Amino acid sequence: MLAVLAPGQGAQKPGFLTPWLDIAGVDARLRWWSTLSGVDLRYLGADADAEEIKDTAKTQPLLVAAALLTAEQLRMDDVAVVAGHSVGELGAAALAGALTTDAAVTLAGVRGREMAAACAVEPTGMAAVLGGDEAEVLAAIEAAGLYPANRNGAGQIVAAGTADGLEKLAAAPPAKAKIIKLQVAGAFHTPHMAPAEAALAATAAGISPAHPTKILLSNLDGAAVDHGPTVLNRLVRQVTAPVRWDLCMRSLADLGVTAVVELAPAGTLAGLVKRAIKGIEIVTVNTPDDLGKARDAIARHGSHPTHEPHPEFRVVVASTGGTFAPASGIAEGDEVGDGQVIGAINTRQGPVDVIAHGAGALVEWLVHDDDPVSPGQPLARIGGTT
């Protein structure tokens, strides 16, 4: 099984889109998406310097556009799993079929502008905490009045909040931990971004999302999300919620992913995956010269859909890991309603409802009572039209 990953803010490099401009259609695509996002993506990706592409309002739509342009050169039909880090999750949602590419770029433009505006309200920032005991690090972050904005795995937690709080953390770091101040505009993925979340929600209300056709892992908790409106709600909430990339990587491992392809500008997520999941094949795509390696990995590790006629079903998947329990009184052949709870996944934190997103007949259970399940694992088939 293969996963495609879309990087987040901080992955950009000056001129990284230049080699892609020679591909037919890329220039026109960037010009159209520039209109939708409100920034000149062609200029930013090819000619702008490092300082200019650090601007949150410009970087966010640039990264989403870059991931989508890269993916258009690959056979995404054979990709089973997609995930993105922070703003990269908008690109991942489009690759999963939950959003159109135009909607993803438009939302990225709004998100970037509004988060940049929220950063100007008061002095805030972020700092990476490397090493140390995880519980002690989280306690120190809380004691400083900060938030754990990113939990990236491999002993890396990013603290975010006020400038005073960051100074307090730096003055009294957790044992065996190193504090590195990040060159960012503000405290992303914290309550400080509440105005940006509200603005993004207003724009998102005009979008009609579709149900993902691939396993889409959410930054909120690493869960596989198979319901379009839920995907959109989580994308909006992500502006103030922590990025749990550590849990996304755990889900990649639980799903049995054997290879990942990181889209341009690649490298950051590949490094995190390499440290977290041993034995996995990793391909980074930064220029068109890397497309051959990516296509080869997809051919060897990807799924291969059949063109034979087959029934069409709505597959309900597990949103998290645990043990499955079907709802009492529901059997194969029964009609279920849209939004009906058909079971639960029992986790250490308590049961998580399994919901049928779409009405139809419960054609088949794909797991049994008390079976262990992983995020993204198919649980039941709903429907049955041919």
Catalytic residues: 86, 189
SS3 state of residue 192:
helix
Tokens of residue 320, six digits? 């998290």
Name the token pair of 207.
């979008």
**CA 266, 272, 273: angle at the middle one, nearest 5?**
90
3-state secondary structure of 343: strand
Alpha helices in the chain (DSSP H): 26-37, 41-46, 56-71, 88-95, 101-119, 134-143, 163-171, 194-204, 228-237, 245-254, 268-276, 291-301
Tokens 């250490």 belong to residue: 348
Residue type at position 364:
E
Give the three-class secondary structure for 216: strand
- Cβ(17)–Cβ(274) below 8 Å: no
Assigned token pair, 189: 């993925």
Contacts of 274 (CB under 8 A, 6+ apart): 280, 282
Helix 228-237 with 194-204: angle, nearest 10 deg: 150
Q: What does the radius of gyration of the chain's CA atoms come to, in whole angstroms?
A: 21
Hey, how many other C-beta atoms are within 10 angstroms of the C-beta on 168? 16
From residue 59, give the alpha-carbon distance in Å to each of 153, 185, 207, 233, 241: 24, 12, 22, 22, 20
| AA letter at 8 | G
Is 10 in contact with 87 (CB distance < 8 Å)? no
Paired with 150 in beta bridges are 158, 243
